[in-house]
Amino acid sequence: MSVEHASTRLIDAYARGDADIAADEVWALEAHLERCGTCRERLSAAVASEAPAVASLVGTVWSELEPQLGTAAAMPPRRRRTAARSAWMTPVMVPWVAGAACVVLIALLLEVAGFRAGFGEAPLVLLLAPLLPVCGVAASWSRGLDPAYELTASAPRAGLYLVLRRTAAVLAVVVPPLLVGGWATGVTAGQWLLPCLAFTSTALALGTVIGVSRACGALVAVWVVVVLAPTLATSRITFALQTDGLPAWGLVLALGVGVVAARRGAYSVLSTHR
């Protein structure tokens, strides 16, 4: 698109401060100057040649200002790294997610060392997989843990979008070590990934009703009672974790995602932050 620039006559007259320019012309010229660098440059050249009084005044102001500007601290450049990280994870989440990742690594080491503390055939990775991301999710959206919960909830970005973003960050940290663990112990990825995702989506879905941290606590309790305790008692992999149980986990995952989508509005008000 070709832009029409102001005429030299008009710019010179403006620089001189002529009173005979029509008001609408002044208005149009100023509006144009606001967005046109070329014409601003022409104006400053015109000021130097047409209005030496103005030029010397500007020169005096600059020479007085410069020493003061030299002493004022320059604004430091924005720290990209912090800004990018806090867009995905709040500082509160970091220790929780790091803790979850550490637990996976320790489980992995124990597994490699051939240590199975009374869990019989069940690999630790399988037993821990659903619990760990839930801890991270709890920390990401909780009134008790996150001091800035009310500010976050009142922001335009609050809501499902931010919750999913934080959940994705948790999964991105926790899933890769689990992947290595699953591969090292010979468990199929579906066997642990599906319960892991199903638990996360259920935590978010239940969270819209009773609050995310309560939901996470309840789910951890359910897991301990239904899966961990029977496994400890019988030293065998319970039905829930065998490959036959996968369709059920798939169903839970779909249900969780459905509920979260249907109740997404609940994430932008205060009550989810319990």
Partner 1 sequence: MMRAVSAADIAPKAYAWEIQATGLKVRAGAKRMAVDGLDLSLGTGVHGLLGPNGAGKTTLIRALATVLRPAGGSLELLGEPAGGTGGHRELRRRIGYLPQEFGYYKRFTVREFVEYMAWLKEVPDREIPGAVQRAVERVGLADRADSRMKTLSGGMVRRVGIAQAIVNDPAILLLDEPTVGLDPAQRLRFRELLQELGSDACVVVSTHLVEDVAAACTDVVLFAEGRLRFQGTPDGLAAAGGPGHVGDSPLERGYSALLSDSGQGRGSW
| Residue closest to 153 by CA, chosen among 206, 202, 207 | 207
How far is residue 12 from each of residues 27, 59, 72, measured CA to CA in Å? 15, 19, 35
Smallest distance from partner 1 to CB 22, Å? 21
Residue 82 CB, shortest distance to partner 1, in Å, is 6
The number of beta carbons lying within 10 Å of the beta carbon of residue 72 is 7
For residue 214, the minimal CB distance to partner 1 (Å) is 15
Q: Which is nearer to partner 1, 191 or 213 (CB)?
A: 213
Q: Which is nearer to partner 1, 86 or 234 (CB)?
A: 86
Q: Which is nearer to partner 1, 95 or 247 (CB)?
A: 95
Q: What are phi and psi of 4, to 5 degrees?
A: -85, 125
Task: Compute the least distance from the CB of residue 157 to partner 1, in Å.
Answer: 5
Q: Looking at beta carbons only, is 30 or 121 nearer to partner 1?
A: 30
Least distance in angstroms from the C-beta of 151 to partner 1 = 7
How many helices (DSSP H) and strands (DSSP E) are in the chain? 14, 0
Nearer to partner 1, 233 or 269 (CB): 269
How far is residue 15's CA from residue 23's CA, in Å, rounded to a whole number? 15
- Closest to partner 1 by CB, 31 vs 109, is 31
For binding to partner 1 (CB under 8 A), which residues are involved?
34-35, 73, 75-76, 78-79, 82-83, 86-87, 90-92, 146-159, 162, 265, 267-270
Kindly list the distances between the CA atom of residue 199 and the CA atoms of 26, 101, 196, 251, in Å, as whole numbers in the listed order.
66, 17, 5, 11
For the bound state, the minimum distance from the C-beta of residue 30 to partner 1, rounded and expressed in Å, comes to 11
Angle formed at CA 53 by CA 51 and CA 54, multiple of 5 degrees:
70
Rounded CA-CA distance 142/274 in Å is 6
